[in-house]
Each structure stands twice: as C-alpha cells, then as structure tokens.
Structure 1
Amino acid sequence: MLFKKASHNVNTNVRFMLGAVAAAGVSLTCGAVHAQSSVTLYGIADVGVEHINNTSAGGAQTREVSGNLSGSRWGLRGAEDIGGGMKAIFQLESGFNINDGTTAQSTRGLGANAATTARLFGRQAWVGLSYRGQQLTFGRQNSLLYEQAVAFDPMGASSRYSVLSLDYAMAGRIDNSAKYTGVFGPLTAQAMYSTRYDSGYGAEVPGAEITGRFFSGALTYAQGPFAASVSYEQRNSNTVPTNTGTERRATAAASYVIGPVKGFAGYRYLRASNAFLPANPIVVANGSQASAANLYWAGAQYNVTPAFIVTATGYYQDVHSTGADPWLAVLCADYFLSKRTDLYATAGFAHNKDKSALGVNGYGTVAPGYNQTGITIGMRQKF
C-alpha cells in the first residue's frame, strides 16, 4: 500500500528505504504469528556392506545394503499450538534405499484383488491432535507392536539382524488407522483400529467390513531403571472369501538398567488361522505353514564408553507341531564419531533344524535346513 500511494516522483532511494521497512515489518509479523508453530526436516542415511553364506539361491553373497541399524529415511514433522493446551500435529516419513535411490515401501499384496501400492510416505503419514499427554492421530502409522519392539528389542527392531528377522509384524505399519495414546504418569495406554490395514489389497470392501480389519491395544509402564509393556493385536484376512481368518499376537517385554548395562527380555505369542492371507512367512517349516509359534528373546546393551556401545542378543522361535525351531544370535558394536554419525559392525548366526529356513535377514533367505552367518559393516548419519 505504501508504494501505491507514493508519488511517481519519489526518489529511488526513498522507495528502497520504504520497501526495506515494509519487509522488516512483514518479517516480524510472520515471526509473531508462527512463534508457536514448528516444522522439522529430519532423516537417516544408513548403508553398509554385507556378506552372508548359504543363501536361498545357493552359495555366498557380498552386497551393499541400505538400512541396517536404521531404515534410511527422510521426513517432516510439525506441531501448531491452537490454544488451550491443544496442538495440531503431523508426520510424513519416506523410506528409501540409499544404495540405489529407490523407494523402500512400495508393495504389492497377494491374491486376485491385490493392487500395487506406490507409497511416497511409506513409513508414516498421519495427522492429529494432542492435548496434555493425550494424542489422537489418523493415517498410516506404526503399529503398537512395532513401538514396543523398538523399545524392548536389544537391537531396536533394526532392519536386519533383529526381532524383525523372526516376525515381519514387529515392524508393522497400518494403513487407514486411528491411534490413541494417553500418558498418565509412568503408565502409557494405547489403542489402535484400522478399516483396512494394507492398501496393497485395495480399498475397504462394501458389504464385507471385516475384510482387512485390524485392532490393537498396549500398556507400558516406565519408572526409574525399570520398564515393561504388554500388547495385543488382531488382523483379519485381506481377501473377502477368507476374511474370517485371523492372525493374533500378544507380547510382553521388559528392560532394566544397571549402571552402564541395560538388559532386555521379551515374549511373543502367535496364532494364525489356516485361511489367513497373506501367507504368514514367520513360521514356515518343511515347506508348509504352521499356525502357532512362541518367540522368546533376551539380550543386553553395554555402554563401554559414552561413544562405544556393544549389544548382544538371542532369539528363539518355538514353532508348534514341528521340530523346526530355529534361533538367531546377534552381536553388534557401534562407535559414535559424533552425535549424528556412527560406524558399526554387526554379526549374526541363524541355526536351523528339521529344514527350517530362518536367515539372518528373515525367513526364506537361507537354504532350508542350513545355518547362516552374516556380517555387516556400515555407517549411519542422522540429520
């Protein structure tokens, strides 16, 4: 408005000064308006070189791999104070493979009605409200089991050589979900529901509302050096003809800190209907699918120095009605060059019997009945 009212004879220098004053005023005003809002760009770039033997294709393999201790990702998170202690919040997070630049979460479901899902923000994409320790969010979100695994698996549910190798659901992400989290002192209560947890199979089905349904709940207690959590989830099959088939999990886990050592222990119960789809890759043994398994794990992290951490853990899967009960042992050394950059070396050994096929990177990645050793050396930077 200043420029519109000014005479055409105003000196160029005066115009410049007026413009500078106006720009400064706008800048200050914007700063005041957005003082209670924030948007953060963040990410992790993790890459390493892995050598494994007895691959499912036969022989050994040496390769460069992305996302070892942490899945490589970039994201945006933000919050806006809308008054009365309430905030509007959001998070968008995209996974990628740093070794070749491809997206990490594009998937295709199984069955006749499956669809290819190209996910721009495949790790997370949600929006919601928070109010005095309580939060309600909607979108594609981490499952409650995933959050528990990150906190109570000694390997932090890392992309490789962790509890995720024995159960894909320990890194579950749920489409079309509503999620509640309430913090009440040392106790955190959570509940989650989805109208169709995997959009790789298409949208919700009219007249068949239980197809692809998901619900879950969790309670976590943390006080001083001790923390513990229990959770439950149920998934219905993603195809209409088999939608009464379910996959149910319950978990219990705890951790305790003694000086520089943090110990962990956990248990996961699994029951799956024979009709459940997708076919459960967790408990494959002798070329067939079992319907029940118990998973146990225990381990510890030792802070040798503030910059050097050593982690050791073991996982055992008891597959019902078969002797194919594999176990996985993992040892990891992680050295921090700075707060943002670390170098790591991880070694894993998967032991199979009765033709079970657990590899260090998950089921089906080793020749059935063969043991597998894997070693990864890599670098991770956070920003």
Structure 2
Amino acid sequence: MKKTFIAAAVLGSVSTLSAAQSSVTLYGLVDAGIAYTNNQGGNTSWQLRDGNLDASRWGVVGSEDLGGGRKAVFQLENGFNVNNGKLAQDSRLFGRQAFVGVADNTFGSVTLGRQYDSVVDFLAPFTETGGGGALFFAHPYDNDNTRNSFRINNSVKYKSPVFAGFSFGGVYGFSNQAGGFAQNRAYSIGASYQNGPLKAAAAYMELSHPGSSTGAVDTTIFVPGTVEVPGATSLTIDSRQRTYGVGASYDVGPATIRAIWTHTSIDDVSISADGEPVLNNASAKFDNYEINGRYHLTAALALDAMYTYTQSKVSIMDDGTKAHWHTLGLQSTYALSKRTDLYLAGVYQKASSGVNAQLFGSDESSTDAQFGVTAGVRHRF
C-alpha cells in the first residue's frame, strides 16, 4: 500500500511538472453587427455583417518548454462568418494562421507555415483599421494589405527579441514550384522601436508573380476597379508587387496619435474581361497618407477619428490615369466588460478622376462618393 502511494505521488508530480512546462490555450473572437451603406451600385444597403471591427475567429496556441530559455511553439487559427457559419479565407480550416516553430529568449523565434507578412506585423498597428478600427477604414482596396487581405503561405518567419526597445523580423514564402523558385515567392522585412510613449516602425514586402494556388500568395491586392475596366473578370501580375512604408505613434495621457505612410507599386499588370485582354503591360502605384487617434473618455468609453488621403497612378506605356481618395471616419467603442464591447462607426469616402468610391468590404458606389455606418457587438474568449 505504501509503495502504491509513493508511485501515485511520483506520477502525480511528473504530471504536474509536464503541465507546468507545456500549455495549450483555446481563444477566439466573435464580431457581428448591422452595416448601412448609402450607395452600392446605385442602391442603399442594409446588411447583417460579420467582422465589422475584427473578423470572427477561434484558435489554439501552445508551447512546450524545452529548457535553457527555449520552447516549441505553435498556433492554429480558424476564420469563420458568424452569420452563416461558413469558413473564411477560401474555406480553409486554419486560414488565418497556421504555424509551428521554436522560440529562444536570447536569439528570437523561427516559425514555419501560413503567416502574416512584415507589413501586417510592423505597420498595420499604426493604421486605424489595423489598430482596432472598422473594416470600412481600410485604405482603398486594401492596396497595402494593412487589413490582412492575404497571408503568406509556405513561409519561414524570424522574429527577434527586443533589444533596448528595438526589434526586427522577416518572412520568406517559398513558391513550392519545381523549376520555378522565383515564381510566386514572397519576402518581407520590418523593424520597430519603442521608447516610453513613442513607437515607430518601417517595413518592406515584395511579391514575385503572385496569384497561383500553390505559391506563397494565392491572391493579389490590386483591384480592376482602380482603372475602371467594366466587366473585368481576371487579373494577372506578370512581374512583381511591392509595398513599403513607415509609421509612428505617441501616447499623451488617455490619448494616442498615430500617423502612417505606405506605398504600393505593381508592375506588368494584365486584365481580361470575358476571356479577352483589355489591358496589358500596365503599372499601378498607390500612396496612402493616414493620421488617426484614439481618446479614452473613461475606462470603458473610447473615441477614434481617422483621415486618409490616397493617390494612385495607373500607367500604360507613357500614358497615366491618376485618382485620389479622401476617407474620413469616426468610431466609438464601449466596454461592457473586459471581453465584450459595443461599437458604432461611420465613414465617408470621396473619389476623383472618374473613379467610383468604394469603402473596403462594400460594393462600388455608382458615384464618386460613399457613406457607411456600422454598429454591433464584439466578444472575446
């Protein structure tokens, strides 16, 4: 009996030690609300929509202590539409994130799988939409991917520890194509610095021949609507797509002020409509200038405001079409608890040069202006 008790005690100690060295956590977020748009194709729109602030998701994150300040890490994150129960990210089981790797307190972490690029990691938090704001606030067509329109498949990511407020990282996405090493590969790098209330970051991303289903990026951020091609049904980027920028923020008491500039350039664009080529050998460039801020009136109530000026140029040989967008938004959130809040957001966009306005996540307006409002509830678990 005594031996049995000792054996049980030893097994219990081993089990406790194992539990202390490893962890697996289930987490998630559910966001749903009503969205109104004054003009989508000439008609008003009322919709019950998922992810007006943050896309609904659930995931599992875990680690195993390997000793010596080193641990194995993994994360699997699923995206879904709470209104119909369907999977997001082209019906992937873990479309938002899926990776495994090793993290070291001294040397940083290396992870492998489907992951965010450095623009998302380092620059997106300085935008309103990437820093807790509404989907409507994204830059036109999410041309810089600061709203996470795509992830990097087949990727290896490095993230450094923080050295005196400075950190850096990078991602490389393999094409996974025999004989086509550079065909649909992707890479990005970024760095950030924090000193008290001041934060700053910079990042660069390059996609080579993006768009194939087996490569690093299976979607593109260029949208045919930017050049007003009626009936455009397919688009090919025959060369490369680059995005880079800088951002900064400063905290002043209960307020935070943020500013960011991003540039996206796309080379050798070809567009087809109903199988017939309508645009070849074009290039497109976008510059986004945004300033935004958040003020906490109370511990529960926060007010946000943002303004973005975007200019673009689409060129064919020596000709060029220029367009401009002005996007102005306001948002309030009220925390019912640490995990649940209510939100209300409104945004107005004005376009020029014959381009119709189009708030991100909405269909195109029939005019150069569009206004949207959304209200809903967000719960984290």
TM-score (norm: length of structure 1)? 0.82
Residue 259 (structure 1) aligned with residue 253 (structure 2): yes
CA distance in 2, matches of 1:296, 1:147: 19
RMSD of aligned residue pairs (Cα, Å): 2.7
- How far off is 1:25 after superposition? 6.0
Change (3 A) 1:43 1:250: same
Change (3 A) 1:334 1:87: same
Query: Which letter does structure 2 place at the counterpart of 1:132?
Result: N
User: Equivalent residue for 2:286?
Assistant: 293
Residue 174 (structure 1) aligned with residue 139 (structure 2): no
Residue aligned with 2:39, SS: coil
- How far off is 1:30 after superposition? 1.3
Residue aligned with 1:122, SS: coil
User: Equivalent residue for 2:100?
Assistant: 127
User: Equivalent residue for 1:305?
Assistant: 298
Cα deviations by residue, 1:264-318 (Å, 9 ceiling, x for unpaired): 1010111110237999xxxxxx9x9751121110011001111111000011111
CA distance in 2, matches of 1:65, 1:20: 58
Cα deviations by residue, 1:317-352 (Å, 9 ceiling, x for unpaired): 111243420121111000001100000001011112
CA distance in 2, matches of 1:327, 1:147: 25
- How far off is 1:36 after superposition? 1.2
- How far off is 1:359 after superposition? 1.9
Structure having the larger proportion of residues in strand: 2
Give the counterpart of 1:189 among 168, 171, 176: 168
CA distance in 2, matches of 1:73, 1:20: 45
User: Equivalent residue for 1:163?
Assistant: 138
CA distance in 2, matches of 1:49, 1:245: 40
The percentage of counterpart residues that share the same residue type is 32
CA distance in 2, matches of 1:138, 1:351: 41
CA contact (8 A) 1:236 1:276 kept: no
User: Equivalent residue for 2:218?
Assistant: none
- How far off is 1:79 after superposition? 1.0
**Structure 1: segments with no counterpart, 5+ residues:** 3-16, 107-117, 197-203, 280-285
Taking the TM superposition and a 5 Å limit, the aligned residue runs for 1:105-120 are 105-106=89-90, 118-120=91-93
- How far off is 1:28 after superposition? 4.1
Larger Rg over CA atoms: 1
TM-score (norm: length of structure 2)? 0.82
CA contact (8 A) 1:210 1:243 kept: no
User: Equivalent residue for 1:31?
Assistant: 16
Residue 60 (structure 1) aligned with residue 54 (structure 2): no
Residue 42 (structure 1) aligned with residue 43 (structure 2): no
CA distance in 2, matches of 1:245, 1:180: 26
Residue aligned with 1:301, SS: strand
Cα deviations by residue, 1:85-128 (Å, 9 ceiling, x for unpaired): 1010000000111111111111xxxxxxxxxxx41000000001
Change (3 A) 1:333 1:239: closer
Query: Which letter does structure 1 place at the counterpart of 2:187?
Result: F
Taking the TM superposition and a 5 Å limit, the aligned residue runs for 1:324-363 are 324-362=323-361
User: Equivalent residue for 1:139?
Assistant: 113
Residue 70 (structure 1) aligned with residue 54 (structure 2): yes
Change (3 A) 1:239 1:89: closer
Residue aligned with 1:121, SS: coil
